[in-house]
Structure 1
Amino acid sequence: MTDRPTGPPTGGRRGGRTARLRERGAGAARYARGLPDQVPLVGRAVRQLVRVNLLDCATRLAAQAFLSALPALFVVAVFAPVSFRDHVVHSLHNELGIRGAAEQSVEQVLANGRGEAGFGALGALFTVLSATTLSRAIQRVCERCWELPRAAARLAAWRWLVWLLVWLVWLVFQAPLWDGFGAGRWLGLPMTFAGSTALWWWTQHLLLGARVRWPPLLPGALLCGVAVVGLGVAGRIYLPRAMAHSVARFGTYGVVFTGLSWLIATFTGYTLALALGRVLAEEEPLARLLGPERGEAPNAAGPGTQ
């Protein structure tokens, strides 16, 4: 009878390996929890994103854009010249990947609406005014980012309408701007970055009622410019195939599913940029370069805080 070699059982070796993996995982978790304290910038960024409630704000913005702003864009296109309507279709083709039958449906809706514009200026006015819910939602995001009280409606109402109209025009002409107005992407990309940076710099200043000075708003605007360009590149790669697959699987509902999902991703990028912009604006030595945050805007705030 021969003696069998002795040694630790296989289960023991596996148990030891599992214990080591758990210990490493616990160590990584402790390091991640302590990272905000070790790197102050990371800690401030995390606290800012929690205060802003990133995904909740982005989802609300996407819903408002889809349910109110896009219909307002269609209404404006119906009453606008034919060239403007063509720009709308071209922008939807590029920005949301709407192609084929979906694109033909959009063209038909705009053409029929132009021929039956008898629903009138009153209906168009109500549609545009309801779309200012997007302006109000973006204003609340900006106010959360800068921890400001909600602006009084009587002082902010005209800002909502002005911002909405400018944003709709920007949305229409973003596609030709992306192509450099025919010159090519080598010119279109820097023009898109510069234009989107200027738009979001002005957006923050306008919707905050000039309660924050221009210079501290610049980091957030620059990050928004990066987000616009990055999302534009990703969208032109991802959206056409995703939209085609979704339409083939769900029919016309696929346009809704994919378009709304992409809007959520887009506004997540914008909200993230605006939130981190304030963090960077308060980081030394950039804070000394940009100067104090608060500007003078008497009677700009109403009762209550965000």
Structure 2
Amino acid sequence: MQMADAGVPADPGKRDGRTTRTERLRHWREAWETSVPGRSVARALEIQITDRMMALAAQAFLALMPLVIVVAAAAPNAVSDGLVDAMRKKVGLGNGTTTRNVQTIASSAAETGVTVLGFLLVLLSATSFSRALQRVYERSWRLSPGGLRSAWRPLAWIVGMVTYFVLIGLTFRVTHGGGPLTVVRMALASAGSIALWWWTPFVLLSGRVRWRALLPTALATAAGTLVLGVVSAEYVPRLLSSNERRYGTIGVAFAIESWLVVLFAVVLAATVLGAVLVDTRGRLGLWARGSTDPGGWRRTPARRRVTAPDATDPDATGPDAADQESADQESADQDGPDPGAADPDPNRGPADRRAGGPHG
């Protein structure tokens, strides 16, 4: 009797319940891993987003902020005042001692002059930040480093950022005031932010990602930074004032560093989200890359193309194909007619063919 009982399960219902829960958990895990949020979290952990945003914040504070001060010092007064106003709006600087110190530093540098050597040193030091940002973009999109051919791109991005700073300064200076000018300033700031974060990954990724595939990244980054700017304008001034009263300028530096950490957390999260969207097999992925091919977001720069362009690829056709066709036609005209080709006029006689003219 005991031997018969040993072959029967103690409680089949419990075993079936455990199996059902295990299968359900497995189903939920697979659904999470294949979803856009789950893949975004996995990609963020893959690029070590926490370490990257801390490193970018530190390099931006040490390399990019001095560049802003140098640009403010070298630019005309209208641009300089606009830059300080933009920093006050975006970073949350108020009218305290720190803001006056920034204005004093810019004014002193403008009076003494910025030497070419000093500007070049600040510019080259700022490229350390752009190179770090380039590595983050490459890892987010799972692309190999650009190599020596792309060594100029971090410097080109810094030059573009200087131009962006100048344009922002002019925008804030010209649209200074309330009423309709506030709407114009917000519209111009939004358009400039989208253009900046659309152009940035294209340059730093060496043109290996199509413009359309980068649009979700640009929209997500611009939206995140604009929302952060609105929140910063409300919260950060109180934090800066409190730190300035307690710790002085060093407290303000710590507050700005914390704000930069949050800023690059938003930038990296938007970058990861945009990179994951283009790989999605669904409507979102189809819209993001504009192709049914999962790898359709890739773009091969023109100088790296070694094979003939595909006729079905609209981006692969261009002046090169037309030039090649023209060269082939010229070569055929110089070599003369093909002796093995059929005569278009079968009524012509041998003498006419030798003469090259029509009979009669």
TM-score range, shorter chain: 0.7 to 0.9
The root-mean-square deviation of aligned C-alpha atoms, in Å, is 2.5
Do the aligned residues in 2 keep the contact of 1:179 with 1:188 (CA within 8 Å)? no
Q: How far is 1:184 from its partner? A: 4.2
Instruction: Report the AA paired with residue 37 of structure 1.
Output: E
Q: Which residue of 2 aligns with 1:144?
A: 139
- Aligned partner (choices 51, 54, 57) of residue 56 of structure 1: 51
Greater percentage in helix: 1
Q: Give 2:132's aligned amino acid.
A: A
Deviation at 1:63, TM superposition (A): 0.9
Structure 1 residue runs without a partner (length 5+)? 1-26, 301-306
Which of 30, 38, 41 is the matching residue for 1:37? 30
Which 10-residue stretch deviates more, 92-101 or 219-228? Answer: 92-101
Greater shift, 249-258 or 174-183, is seen at 174-183
Q: Which of the pair has the greater relative contact order for Cα pairs under 8 Å at 6+ separation? A: 1
Going from structure 1 to structure 2, the CA distance change for 1:101 and 1:200 (only over 3 Å counts) comes to same
Query: Pick from 294, 300, 314: which aligns with 1:296?
Result: 300
Q: 1:96 aligns with which of 65, 85, 91?
A: 91
**Relative to 1, partners in 2 of residues 1:157 and 1:48: Cα closer, same or farther, differing over 3 Å?**
same
Structure 1: distance between partners of 2:170 and 2:89: 10
Check the 8 A contact 1:220/1:278 in 2, yes or no. yes
SS in 1 for 2:145: strand
In structure 1, the residue matched to 2:325 is: none
> Structure 2 CA distance, aligned partners of 1:35 and 1:97?
43
For structure 1, which segment, 55-64 or 91-100, has the greater mean C-alpha deviation from structure 2 after superposition?
91-100
**Structure 2 unaligned blocks of 5 or more:** 1-20, 306-360
- Cα distance, 1:34–1:70 mapped onto 2, change above 3 Å: farther
Q: Is the 8 A contact 1:91 1:172 kept in 2?
A: no
Count of residues in correspondence between the two structures? 269
Match 2:78 to one of 83, 86, 94: 83
Measured after TM superposition, the shift of residue 179 of structure 1 is: 9.7
Instruction: Decide which of 61, 65, 69 is 1:66's aligned counterpart.
Output: 61
Q: Which amino acid aligns with 1:63?
A: A
The match for 1:287 is 285
For the pair 1:181 / 2:175, whether they are aligned, the reply is yes
Contact 2:197 2:221 in 1 (8 A): yes
When residues 199 and 282 of structure 1 are mapped into structure 2, their CA distance, relative to the original with a 3 A threshold, is same
AA in 2 matched with 1:167? M
Asked whether the 8 Å contact 2:81–2:169 carries over to 1, the reply is no
* TM-score (norm: length of structure 1): 0.80
Report the CA distance shift for 1:227/1:247 in structure 2 as closer, same or farther (over 3 A). same
1:252 counterpart = 2:246: no
C-alpha separation in 2, matches of 1:177 and 1:265: 25
Counterparts of 2:200 and 2:279 in 1: how far apart (Å)?
Answer: 20
Summarize the alignment of residues 132-211 of structure 1 with structure 2, pairs less than 5 Å apart: 132-152=127-147, 154-171=148-165, 173-174=167-168, 181-182=175-176, 183-211=180-208
Give the TM-score normalised by the residue count of structure 2: 0.69
Distance 1:82 1:176, change over 3 A: closer
8 Å CA contact 1:63–1:260 kept in 2: the answer is: yes
* Structure 2 CA distance for partners of 1:176 and 1:116, relative to 1, 3 Å: closer
Question: Are 1:178 and 1:185, in contact at CA under 8 Å, matched by a contact in 2?
Answer: no
